[in-house]
Structures are given as structure tokens and as C-alpha cells.
A and B are shown apart, each in its own frame.
Chain A
Amino acid sequence: MYVYDDFDQKIVDQRVAQFRDQTRRYLAGELTEDEFRPLRLQNGLYIQRYAPMLRVAVPYGELNSKQVRMLAHIARTYDRNYGHFTTRQNIQFNWPALENVPQILADLSTVQMHAIQTSGNCIRNTTSDQFAGVAHDEIVDPRPWCEIIRQWSTFHPEFAHLPRKFKIAVNGAVEDRAAIRVHDIGISIVKNDAGETGFAIYVGGGLGRTPIVGALIKPWLEKHHLLSYLDAVLRVYNRYGRRDNKYKARIKILVKAMTPEAFGAKVEQEWVHLKDGPTTLTDAEIARVSKFFVDPAYETLPGDDAAYLAAKASNPAFARWVQRNVFGHKQPGYAAVTLSLKKTGIAPGDATDAQLDAVADLSDQYSLGEVRVSHEQNLILPYVKQADLFAVWEKAKEIGFATPNIGLLTDIVCCPGGDFCSLANAKSIPIAEGIQRKFDDLDYLFDLGELDINISGCMNSCGHHHVGHIGILGVDKNGSEWYQISLGGRQGKHAALAKVIGPSFAQEAIPDVIEQIINVYVESREDSEHFVDVVDRLGIAPFKQRVYAKELAHD
């Protein structure tokens, strides 16, 4: 992974000093609340329902064991012994005291971490595939490009105060695990017929109040021009994005208003002036950054480890875990393991200091000291030898991270919601738990197969409910909490937005509603048809009929 040199370290250190000074001036009354708010947000610091919340950046989801231990230290020293991994591959701490934040940032800087641009109306942490560099279906490793974008976007002076937040995602594999079509800019790394690397650029995707799937505005961008093209897109957005209404300020509204064709043409006009300028990437820089992401020294191993296969054959519980939580590796004899942070009764994405320390130890022992964060809020050990899988499983069980449910109904993506977030209309964590408790039979879960449930506590859609096969959205009705259900969303290459089935439900009704929906699926599926394919085939009508026949809804 990328390692800072003196330049990188200096920039982070100077940010720590700057934020320390800003906090001091705020506490001394020299900065007003209104002035400090945008400044602290640009450093990931919110003032939440009960306390501040600090969001720490995990650039494109990549961590080393030292950094994971630092996160454990922060949870232990400054917080209530846990952190929460988010749908943008970052980690949030829910209870730090404002006065301690400068010191937390100083601690983070000692392991090359920071909270830069994890919130605010600026370019946020660039996200990517959690299996980058190891995926069996990878075309180009996205991480060097993510790092190049990270550096370009860090304190970009022209784009520090955009109309609204701005999120970039990069995918380099056949399958799109980075959800690039629901980002402000989605970058797909492609190769042309000559074998050269370039990019296809999508703009204007996003969830929130007005969910839109991004449009392709540039099918082929030669790699050296990546940054000048991004400059052009951002400049058009900075100048012409709406600033009069925060609900209409995202780039997707501008792209929609102009049409993607006209927006793309405007970007081209701007780009003509920037192209081939000093920001054009050099081969030397691409090589410098890429060398941090070369393959580790893999051992030459047989593709199928005999002891591993034997354990799988004789231990059904292990086999089950392998089926769900082990991902195909490009290197024979290796695997990527997903540690499930979706155990029933624990808020999805939460990890304690002890668990983080244990994950760091696991990664040192079995995964070359590397850990990844997925946007589904799980952790990944990317370099596990097949021969070690059984041992990793045993240890993951001890930590409580071995629930064999990756991609299944109980692997729920869920925002912090009303328990923590001051923007929430409704709680989301108890909804996830209610569903997990209802579906507690593992055989049944395996039988149901792939099923994404996504829960957001408000229209900001941090739980990405629009792209859940089943989406659940908290809504406010006369001061009480209700939940709207939608069906048929998808992430990935064939991203689609879910359709709302009708009036919303009370919290208590949700597990039953989900059960009714699942029953319709089970009765209607043909062969091994997935839930979302059945929804596509039948439409939402039969689900709607069943659910509302029972009069569970509120109108």
C-alpha cells in the first residue's frame, strides 16, 4: 500500500496544526459557530445528537495492521471503546470530546492517517473495490489511480467550497464492487484494443432525495489526462452547480438539467484549455505510485490446498463460512476473507477496540498485515493462504466476526440512524436487528441466497437504500418514526433504483413485512432464481398485494 514520504507527512502534519488552531480559536470565541461548522466538517467533525462524531478517512478502504491498532487505541482512549465502519469505507467515532479531536488527529498522523475531507462540501474520500489488487476478475488495479486522485483532491484550492459534497469511485474489475454508477463521478478503468489503460467516465449518479444512475460522458479518456479532465468536470460543477437550494446542489441535478450530452460538451470546452497542461500525469508519477501496489511475494502454491478441501468436506459449518465469506483470489492457493461485522444484536459495521486489535493480529499472522474495509461495512483480509483458512475461521469466531452471511439477507447495510445521527427521521439499527432476529435460521438464509437489505434513517441515504434489493427508509410522520419499503434496487454494473411499494409501516411491523415479501419470493422463484431477479420478472405488484392485504401499513 501507499507509504508517505516527507511531503505527504508534512501536509498531514500541517493540517493537524491548522485544525488545532481552528479548534482553539473556536473555543476562545474567535470563530463563530457558523464559521467553524464548515471548517470542522472539512475535517470530518460533526456535532451529533449526543456528542461530536469524528469520521476518519480510510482512503479507498485500505489499512495496515498498525493503522488498525491505532483505530483501536482511539476507540479506547477517546471514545467508548468502539468505532463504526461506514458505507464509504471510512470509520466514525461517536463520542470524542471536541477538545480531544486535535490530539486524535495528531495520533492518526503518526500512522499516516487523517480525517481530511471526510465531510463538507468538498471532494470526499475516493472509494473503490474492497478486493482491489487481489480480485480474480480484476482488469486493472484501481488503487494507484485512487491514490493519484487522493493527492490531487487533497486541499484542492479551487474546489474547497463546492455547491455540495462530491464523491468519486473507481472500479477496475469486471464486476463493479465500487458502485460507481451512484457516485458524482464514477471511473471505470478500461483497456482499449491496443492494450492501453484508460478510463470511462460517468457523472451525475447519486442517491439521496433524487436518486439517479450516472451517465457516461466520456467513454475513453487516455490515462495521462485523468487529472486535467477531473479539473474540467469540477470547474464546470463549481461554477454552475446550484447553490440556492441544498437539495438541488449535487452535480446530478446540474447534469440532469443540462442533459448529460450538454454537460459533457461543456466539460470538453473547458478541458481543451487544461489538457496537456502541467497537471498532465507523467509516466514517472504513474510508475512511482504504482510501485506501492505491486503484488506481494506470493508463495507458489497448488490451487487447491488438500487439507483445506478436507476440512471443507468434513466440517459443514466451515464449508458454509467458506461459501459465503471467502472470495476468489487471483493468486492460486490464496483467498480473500470477509470478516462479517453483521452479527445479530450488534449494530452493522460496529467494531470494538478489542476486536480491532484482534483483527490487526490476524492480519499480521495471516494476511501480510493488510486489512480492507468494504462499502458493505465489513472487513477483509486480502492475502490469506487457503491452508490457513481454517485457522482464520476459528479465530474469527472468537472475535465474533465469523457470521457466515456475506451477501445474505442478514448482511444488512445500515446507517447509524436516529440512535446517533442528528439528521435522522427514524432509527435504523433496531430495524436491522429486528429483521436479523426474525431470520435466524441459517439453513433458510442460505436457501434464500443473495439478498441485499439496505436501511437509511433519512433521505440522505447513507445506507444506500435505493440500491438495496430491499430498501428501507425511515420517514417522519407527524413526529413519529415510520418506514418506507422499496424493492428491486441493484448496485454494480447493472445498477438500478428500487421502487417504493406503498405507504409506510411502523417499526414493529417491519420484520413481518419483510417475511411476507420473502414468502412471495419463495413461492414464485423458478429454480435458483435470485430474489431481485424475481422482483424484476414479476414487478412489485404481487409483493405489494401480499403486504398490504395484511393491513400492516399506515397511510
Chain B
Amino acid sequence: MTEIIKQRQIVEDDAQLIRLGEDGSFAELPASGRIIVPLKQWQAQRDALLARGDFGVWLASDEEAETIAADIGHFALIALDFPAFIDGRNYSNARLLRDRYGYKGELRAIGDVFKDVILLMKRCGFDAFAVRPDKDIHEALKGLDDFTEYYQGATDEPLPLFRRRA
């Protein structure tokens, strides 16, 4: 079984990540169980997915939150991919989904996810972290406590320190 961090707990992963084929083709979807499909597949197979239910969608780092803003009510979860942790575009997508489009469900970081970045992700609104399989998930969890004070407001704590400093 694969483990994942959700809401600060290490739990069994309940969702299967579906990627595009190398040629960009869509994978056959399993008949049951929670799945996370690529944005393009959601756009192409919208009706079928709505009929199937229990699915989420994931965005690559060069895709934009705006494209799913009107649909967020349909998703069991949204995942945002970090092809390499130095690609920070999905930090902005996460904040837009939460702060601007009001997404309240599970927001999952996938890809190059490990101890040294998950606090940044959490501050941008992620609440689930699919830690890279070759990294120690227990160690990674501790990364959420690397800092306990922040200067600027972000999604997890919208008030900047200057509105809280007393």
C-alpha cells in the first residue's frame, strides 16, 4: 500500500494517479475506486467522468487554475504536479484555487515532494502530500514544523505577522 500525508497524518493513499500516455493518449480508466485524471482527460471525457464519479483532476505545472475554476465542485480532489521542486508555478495555482476560487476540498501535491518543500506547499494551501516514494515519509512529515512563525500572510494563515504581532 502507498502512504500519503493528509491533514498531518500518514494514511493509506485512497486514490490512483492516472497519467497521460507517452504519446499523449488517455489511459483506460478503472471501473471503480478513486482516480485522479490529467486535466486534458477531464476536458475530453467530461461526461463519462461525471457519470463515473469519485474522481479528481491534476494539473501539470504549465497548466492554469483558471481552466478548472468553474468546475471545482465536481472533483473529489485536485492534485498539482511538481515535475521538479524548483518549478514553483503550482504554488501560485494552489493559492488561486483556494483564495480566489474558494476550493475547500483536498489539494494534493504530487511529483517532487519531500521534507524540504512541504511546508511551503502547506502555506500555499495544500493539505495532502504524496511524498516521493524513495523519501522517508515520516521524516517528510516533520518538515511541516520547520517553522512556526511566518512574516507574510499566505493561504494557511492569511494574516501577515504585522497583524498578529502583539
Query: What is the interface of chain A, defined by CB distance below 8 A to chain B?
Result: 5, 7, 10-11, 14-15, 17-18, 22, 30-31, 35, 38-39, 121, 151-162, 227, 235, 238-239, 243, 273, 277-279, 281-282, 284-285, 288
Q: How far is the CA of A385 from the CA of B95 in the complex (A)?
A: 52
Cα–Cα distance between A15 and B158 once the two chains are bound (Å): 22
Which of A30, A159, A239, A281: most chain B CB closer than 10 A?
A: A239
Known: A121-B86, A279-B153. A7 touches B92 (CB 8 A): no
Residues of B close to A279: CB separation below 8 A: 152-153, 160
The residue on B at minimum CB distance from A163 is B88
Residues of A within 8 A of B147 (CB): 11, 14-15, 18, 155
- With A14-B149, A155-B151, A279-B152 already in contact, the answer to whether A7 and B161 are too (CB < 8 A) is yes
Contact between B88 and A151, CB atoms less than 8 A apart: no
Interface flags, B132-158, vs A, CB<8A=1, else 0 = 000010010000001111111110001
Residue from B119, B150, B162 within 8 A of A285 (CB atoms): B162
Q: Mark B109-147, 1 if CB is under 8 A from A, else 0.
A: 000001011011101100000000000100100000011
A288 engages B91 (CB within 8 Å): no
**Whole-angstrom distance between the alpha carbons of A15 and B146 in the complex?**
8
- The chain A residue with its CB closest to the CB of B151 is A151
Q: What would 19 A/B residue contacts be, using CB atoms closer than 8 Å?
A: A7-B161, A11-B147, A15-B147, A35-B85, A35-B116, A152-B152, A152-B160, A155-B150, A157-B119, A157-B124, A160-B88, A238-B88, A239-B89, A239-B92, A278-B153, A278-B159, A278-B163, A285-B162, A285-B163
Q: Which listed residue (A10, A154, A155, A243) contacts B87, Cβ 8 A? A: A243
| Chain B residues, CB < 8 A from A11 | 147, 149-151
Contact with A along B78-98 (1 / 0, CB 8 A): 000000011111011101000
Q: B93: nearest residue on chain A (CB-CB)?
A: A239
Residue from the list B86, B123, B148, B159 in contact with A161, Cβ < 8 A? B86
Q: For residue A120, which residue of chain B has the nearest CB?
A: B86
| B83 → chain A closest CB, angstroms | 10
Indicate if B100 sits at the interface (CB-CB under 8 A): yes
Residue on B nearest A243 in the bound complex, by CB: B87
Note all chain A residues with C-beta closer than 8 A to B146.
14, 17-18
Which residues of chain B are near A161, meaning CB under 8 Å? 85-88, 91, 120
Contacts A7-B161, A39-B116, A151-B151 known; A158 to B88 CB distance under 8 Å? yes
Contacts of A277 in B (CB 8 A): 153, 158
CA gap between A47 and B91 in the complex, in Å: 28
- Assess whether B165 is in contact with A7, with CB atoms less than 8 Å apart: yes
Q: Given the complex, which residues of B lie within 8 Å of A151, measured CB to CB?
A: 151-152, 161-162
* CB-based nearest A residue for B164: A7
Tally of contacts, chain A with chain B, CB under 8 A: 106
From B116, B123, B149, B162, A22 is in contact (CB under 8 Å) with B116
Q: Please classify how large the interface on chain B is, using the bins under 10, 10 to 19, 20 to 34, 35 or more.
A: 35 or more
Measured CB to CB, the closest approach of chain A to B131, in angstroms, equals 13
Instruction: Give the residue of A153, A157, A227, A281 whose beta carbon is less than 8 angstroms from that of B91.
Output: A157
Assembly CA distance A322 to B82 (angstroms): 57
Contact, CB under 8 Å: B158 / A278:
yes
Instruction: List the A side residues contacting B88 at CB < 8 Å.
Output: 158-162, 238
Residues of A within 8 A of B165 (CB): 5, 7, 288
Inter-chain CA distance A14–B149, complex, in Å, is 9
How close is A32's CB to chain B, nearest CB, in angstroms?
Answer: 10
- In the bound complex, residues from chain A placing their C-beta under 8 Å from that of B139 are 30
The answer to whether B148 and A14 touch across the interface, beta carbons within 8 angstroms, is yes
A158 close to B95 (CB less than 8 A): yes
Contact partners of A278 in chain B: CB under 8 A: 153, 158-160, 163
Least CB distance, A11 to chain B, in whole angstroms? 5
Q: Is the CB of A154 within 8 A of B151?
A: yes
Q: How many Å from the CB of B97 to the closest CB on chain A?
A: 13
Determine the residue in chain B with the shortest Cβ distance to A273: B100
- The reply to whether B163 and A157 contact each other, CB–CB distance below 8 Å, is no
Give Cα A27 to B158, complex, Å. 37
In the complex, A7→B148 CA distance in Å?
Answer: 10
Q: A157-B120, A158-B124, A161-B87 are in contact. Are A152 and B92 (CB under 8 A)?
A: no
* Closest partner residue, chain A, to B62 (CB atom): A243
In the complex, the chain A residue whose C-beta lies closest to that of B85 is A161
Q: Return the contact of B163 from the options A156, A160, A235, A282 (Cβ within 8 A).
A: A282
**List of B residues within 8 angstroms of A159 by Cβ:** 88, 91
Give the contacting residue for B148; candidates A5, A10, A284; CB below 8 A: A10
Chain B nearest Cβ from A45, distance in angstroms: 14
In the bound assembly, the distance between CA atoms of A38 and B93 in angstroms comes to 22
